[in-house]
Structure 1
Amino acid sequence: MINQKAGSVTFENVKKTFGAFTAIPDLSLTIEPGTLVTLLGPSGCGKTTTLRMLAGLEHPTAGRILIGGKDVTMLPANERDVSMVFQSYALFPHMSSLDNVAYGLESSGLSRREAREKAEEGLSLVGLAGMGGRLPAELSGGQQQRVAVARALVLEPQVLLLDEPLSNLDARLRRRVRTEIRELQQRLGFTAVYVTHDQDEALAVSDRIIVMKDGEIAQSGAPRDLYEFPASSFIADFMGEANVIACEVVGIDGAEADIRIGSLTHRVPAGRAKPGAASLAVRPGAVTLAEGRGEGLAGRILHSAYLGDHVEYEVETDVGTLFIVDHAVDRILPAASNATLGFKNRGIALISN
């Protein structure tokens, strides 16, 4: 469901410089109404600068930004019809949860009674009905973040911006709150632009992920596409750990390619591959591991670590040392033992060098 108030977002050849430093050289992208798109990347990649330009907290050096088809490039933040959820929650500590949510509504001209009614509706939306009288200090971190989301949503913006919204929460709470944010976005159908450096978070909440590097888009697509079909070794390693190894494309048959990895041959999606030397991204869980020598890629166990539901291995092979995750915890291969490696059909992809 798409909310009728949800707006599109467009960046047209946007450039942003800070003195002699170019943070964003030339950015063009479009975000469809009613979708949750995540800007993902390491520190310094330009994702936060992009979000701040969308929010009106920074202005582009060149190019245009449109929200709902309207050029907002030089408009101040309060005229952009966006709301922002900050990493630090930014709640007023002396005000109740209800008053925090109602604050923006009252500032926009609603009467106190109308603002509080809408604020109560907002708290109900995020599962905090009946908790409006509590101060932020009386709430858990996850509850405080939900108050911040409610405060942003009640303003009914065209676009909701979320800047590292879960980074102050512990791992278990992050999983729960990210699920709540995703379910809320899907139920209400608002447009959201979500900034994070956490790959798991991006995979869990997004309709589309835009991975940024050095102020540019390294790859954009659905979570599954980016994880299973990375376009480069940077994407392969950033979207979850990957072994990047040399291989040879020995034949192409339509959409599939036959590759040779050491003494092992395997078939993978061809993508844009051409015959000859290539690189292969192999997820740690995409490698099969058998004890002793057999048909496959020969290896020697360098290290093994039992982690409850899986075992992590470092295995020396002719194509380099591979990191492998094996869920066969009933047998653990000891260091210095011989092993034979194979590859599954999923979790491996040819990539550009």
Structure 2
Amino acid sequence: MNNAQRGAVEFRAVRKNYGAFTAIPQLDLRIEPGQLVTLLGPSGCGKTTTLRMLAGLETPSEGAILIGGEDVTRLPPNRRDVTMVFQSYALFPHMSVIDNVAYGLESGGLKRAEARTAAGQGLELVGLSGLGDRLPSELSGGQQQRVAVARALVLEPQVLLLDEPLSNLDARLRRRVRTEIRELQQRLGFTAVYVTHDQDEALAVSDRIVVMKDGRIAQDGTPRELYESPASEFIADFIGEANVIDCEVLAVGGDQARIRVGTAELDLPARRAAPGPARLAVRPNAFAVTGEGPGLEGRVVSAAYLGDHIEYEIDGPAGRLFVMDSSGTDPLPQGAPVRLGLRPGGAALIA
């Protein structure tokens, strides 16, 4: 294997059928060495099937899967040089932490003393030195997750697979552990494929996000590209929240389009738009709540004070809009007339 290809992953025209049902019609995807790529999408979109095919737990009906430049399509899981971290952690409750981490090494033929030394180094990597003699039940949920990651990393796989790894943690712990996983991946430089349905999680940890819908790639790009330039209404709504409203493209010059929304006009990336009616995705915090000036008219349906911002529902000719206002002003009363200006950074033309 070429060392430059170590950790590279490639799906070539992969199809997966379950009887008459086609879960993955055709998947072409390449993951570069050292990237953390997240497969994101709603339930039933094909992301877990894709991960299981990469792990060797499912076999493609057609096509090929390559890891490190080697065709592994028909190889069993134990010959693929990948390891998986499951959402349930799958730790042995009767074994100490260090024995859990050493288990895979010993099963692979390494002597017990050598396996335990390597396991100790793995625990140090994830910040759990000194906890090797404890049982999993004596650790917090976040610590158990790190044990599962350490157990996978000591095997030195080409690719680490993470299947909804934070789903069993509470919201605050999820934020902390996802940061730890990302820092560890960047520090060690391993390739990781991460499956989640949580958009915030995907935005926080990923080099690239592959959004899947009905077994196909709906959009593939960096977190910023997907958030700021969604390719469709589905992406705009799924990655963060977005208001999708009608607009008019007045003119297109080069890669910029002049558009009109209500009484406001602004310039945006054209994205293959042509003059005429179009659709615009606007993030809730891209609206400026004003009493006058160009923009969209409406009335306050509801207002919720959330400390650092106010969340409004605004009803008007553009429909029911969700707006986040961080200006620091007091909430407007129900029924109050408003005008919504637009900040170009949070608006994008969509197909």
Q: Deviations over 1:186-229 (max 9, x none)?
A: 00000000000000100110000000000000000011000000
Equivalence for 1:125: 125
2:60 maps to 1:60? yes
SS at match of 1:346: helix
Task: Look up the equivalent residue of 1:300 and give its one-letter code.
Answer: R
1:143-165 per-residue CA deviation (whole Å, 9 max, x = no partner) reads 00000000000000010000000
Aligned pairs, how many?
A: 349
Distance 2:302 2:273 in 1: 34
Instruction: Work out the CA distance in 1 between the residues paired with 2:124 and 2:137.
Output: 20
Q: Is the 8 A contact 1:6 1:157 kept in 2?
A: no
Aligned-pair CA distance for 1:298: 1.5
Counterpart of 2:330 in 1: which secondary structure? coil
Asked if the contact 1:5–1:158 (Cα under 8 Å) also holds between the matched residues in 2, the reply is no
- Structure 2: tracts of 5 or more residues without a match: none
Structure 2 CA distance, aligned partners of 1:302 and 1:75? 58
Deviates more, 1:13-22 or 1:320-329: 320-329
What is the CA–CA distance in structure 2 between the aligned matches of 1:296 and 1:32, rounded to whole Å? Answer: 44
Equivalent-residue separation in structure 1 for 2:50 and 2:136 (angstroms): 30
Q: Deviation at 1:297?
A: 2.0
**What CA distance in whole angstroms lies between the structure 1 residues aligned with 2:269 and 2:242?**
17
The percentage of counterpart residues that share the same residue type is: 70
Check whether the contact 1:39–1:47 (CA below 8 A) recurs between aligned residues.
Answer: yes
Q: What whole-Å deviation, never above 9, does each CA across 1:212-262 have from its counterpart, x for those lacking one?
A: 000000000011000000000000000000000011100112222111112
Q: Are residues 1:314 and 2:313 paired?
A: yes
CA displacement at 1:4 relative to structure 2: 7.0
- The equivalences for 1:146-185 within 5 A come to 146-185=146-185
Match for residue 335 of structure 1?
A: 334
Question: 1:271-286 alignment to 2 at 5 Å?
Answer: 271-286=271-286
1:1-353 correspondence runs (5 A): 6-291=6-291, 293-352=292-351
Q: Which moved more, 1:251-260 or 1:280-289?
A: 251-260
SS at match of 2:102: helix
Any conservation in 2 of the 1:39–1:195 contact (CA below 8 Å)? yes
Distance in 1, matches of 2:341 and 2:129, equals 53
- CA distance in 2 between counterparts of 1:295 and 1:209 reads 36
Say if 1:248 and 1:277, in contact at 8 Å, map to a contact too: yes
Partner amino acid for 2:339?
T
How big is each residue's C-alpha offset from its partner over 1:53-105, in whole Å with a ceiling of 9 and x where there is no partner? Answer: 00000000010000001000011111100000000000000001100000000
Instruction: Give the partner amino acid of 1:143.
Output: Q
Cα deviation, 1:7-38, whole Å, max 9, x if unaligned, reads 10000000001111110000010000111000
Distance 1:70 1:294 in 2: 61
Q: Is the 8 A contact 1:5 1:156 kept in 2?
A: no
Quick one: distance in 1 between partners of 2:90 and 2:243?
Answer: 40
How big is the shift at 1:273?
A: 1.1
**Deviation (angstroms), 1:330:** 3.1
In structure 1, the gaps of 5 or more residues are: none
Q: CA deviation at 1:5?
A: 8.5
**Distance in 1 between residues matched to 2:4 and 2:221, nearest whole Å:** 24
Distance 2:114 2:295 in 1: 70
| Distance in 1 separating the partners of 2:11 and 2:297 | 50
Q: In structure 2, do the counterparts of structure 1 residues 268 and 5 end up closer, same or farther at CA, with 3 Å as the change threshold?
A: closer
- 1:35/1:190 contact within 8 Å kept: yes
Amino acid aligned to 1:306: Y
Contact 1:247/1:260, CA 8 A, preserved across alignment:
yes
Secondary structure of the residue aligned to 1:58 is coil
Q: TM-score, normalised by structure 2?
A: 0.97
- Look up the equivalent residue of 2:192 and give its one-letter code: A
TM-score, normalised to structure 1, is 0.97
